[in-house]
Amino acid sequence: MHLFMGLALLASAAPQAVVLKPVANMYAQPSDETEVVSQAIYGSNIGIVETRPEWLHVRTADDYTGWMRAADARRLSTGDKPYAEPASGGKVAHIESLFAHIYYEPSVTKRQPLITVPFDTRLEVIAEPEDNTRWLEVRLADDRAGWLQRGDASFENEPLPIAATIELSRRFLGLPYTWGGTSSFGYDCSGFVQMLCRRRGALPPRDADLQAAWQGATPVKREDLQPGDLLFFGSAADHITHTGMYIGEGRFINATTWIHPVVQICDLGDAHWTRLLVACRRLK
């Protein structure tokens, strides 16, 4: 089964929902005054673990749980298929721009966008007009129709080789560091690395310490580092708090608050990073 088809199933019989916000926060407790533990992007299929007034305890495809406002998701009825998993022969558009506007009609000038969605959003395609190939008609997560410019999306979603993954990673340079972030609206360190691994066809856990312990990667020595390897930082090997991806020539890309709170390329030889590097991993 294709990786992303399998993710939609969530390996669970729990009630299902689909995310309606461009980026929906997941909180440690059913209160937006508690810590943001992760996020789910528009159109993501999520499992419902528990419900409370105005809140859902949800599980994402990477087996991560948190509390989400009930208004940020639409519950699916029993028997409904997950969003963006069309019947055989249907198409899914994968957003390749950092952000993409979805419009009421195939025009950028007549009305404001319906919604703006982040990179990696998946949208069900319902029509490809032959008389206007610039546009795709898509079904939104709330069942409305919208219009997407074809140049914002791709129908290809095959795993990327390492060189293409590194090239992709550079597109995010300068985006803000966001605690709990998993989207182009703002990533945290492990959310950024998880996205890059996912584009390579792998799905590591959500948090940096769990990624370092993940069985889908093997340890490597610093002197044996190759582009695409994952780097883990912390006060000790059993206290990992940060991660990034090695891109070669002693440098790595990461979402960090160090000096500038953005996605940036750092030098592994800098004293700050040399002191904190505790583990290196290579995807199997």
CB atoms within 10 A of CB 171: 14
Would you call 165 helix, strand, or coil by DSSP? helix
Residues 35 and 138 placed together within one structural domain of the fold: no
Taking only the tens place, the pLDDT of each residue in 124-147 is 999 999 999 999 999 999 999 999
SS (H, E, C) 72-130: HEEECCCCCCCCCCCCCCCEEEEECCCEEEEECCCCCCCCCCCEEEECCCEEEEEECCC
Residues 144 and 169 placed together within one structural domain of the fold: no
Would you call 217 helix, strand, or coil by DSSP? strand
**Range 24-31 average pLDDT:** 98
- CATH at 145: 2.30.30.40
CB atoms within 10 A of CB 107: 11
Would you call 197 helix, strand, or coil by DSSP? helix
**Range 37-62 average pLDDT:** 97
Residues 179 and 253 placed together within one structural domain of the fold: yes
Q: Is position 84 within any domain?
A: no
Cα 277 from Cα 231, distance rounded (Å): 7
Q: Is position 27 within any domain?
A: yes
Q: Is position 82 within any domain?
A: no
Residues 8 and 114 placed together within one structural domain of the fold: no
Q: What is the mean pLDDT of the chain?
A: 94
Q: Is position 271 within any domain?
A: yes
Cα 34 from Cα 55, distance rounded (Å): 13
Q: Where among 154, 177, 199 does a domain terminate?
A: 154
Q: Is position 118 within any domain?
A: yes
Q: What is the CA radius of gyration of the chain?
A: 19
Residues 9 and 52 placed together within one structural domain of the fold: yes
Residues 63 and 175 placed together within one structural domain of the fold: no
Residues 103 and 132 placed together within one structural domain of the fold: yes
**pLDDT tier for residue 78 given thresholds of 50, 70 and 90:** confident
**pLDDT tier for residue 13 given thresholds of 50, 70 and 90:** low
Q: Where among 154, 172, 196 does a domain terminate?
A: 154
Cα 5 from Cα 167, distance rounded (Å): 25
Task: Tell me what pLDDT residue 11 has.
Answer: 43
Residues 221 and 247 placed together within one structural domain of the fold: yes
**Range 47-60 average pLDDT:** 97
Q: Is position 225 within any domain?
A: yes
Q: Are 219 and 281 within 8 A, CB to CB? A: yes
Task: Tell me what pLDDT residue 90 has.
Answer: 83
Residues 167 and 277 placed together within one structural domain of the fold: yes
Q: How far is CA 81 from CA 85, 86, 89, 195, in A?
A: 7, 8, 15, 24
- Judged against a pLDDT cut of 70, whether residue 5 lies above it is answered with no
**pLDDT tier for residue 88 given thresholds of 50, 70 and 90:** low
What contacts 42, CB < 8 A, 6 or more positions away? Answer: 19, 20, 21, 22, 23, 115, 117, 118, 121, 141
The range of the structural domain enclosing residue 57 comes to: 3-75
Taking each continuous run of H as one helix and of E as one strand, the counts in the chain are 5, 22
Q: Is position 83 within any domain?
A: no
- CATH at 183: 3.90.1720.10
Count how many domains the chain has.
Answer: 3
Q: Where among 49, 75, 101 does a domain terminate?
A: 75
What contacts 224, CB < 8 A, 6 or more positions away? Answer: 280
Residues 214 and 274 placed together within one structural domain of the fold: yes
Residues 128 and 167 placed together within one structural domain of the fold: no
Residues 172 and 253 placed together within one structural domain of the fold: yes
Helix H or strand E encompassing 226:
none
- Judged against a pLDDT cut of 80, whether residue 212 lies above it is answered with yes
**pLDDT tier for residue 29 given thresholds of 50, 70 and 90:** very high
- Judged against a pLDDT cut of 90, whether residue 86 lies above it is answered with no
- Judged against a pLDDT cut of 60, whether residue 10 lies above it is answered with no
- The per-residue DSSP string of 27-60 comes to ESSSSTTS-EEEEEETT-EEEEEEEETTEEEEE-
Tokens of 140: 């939104």
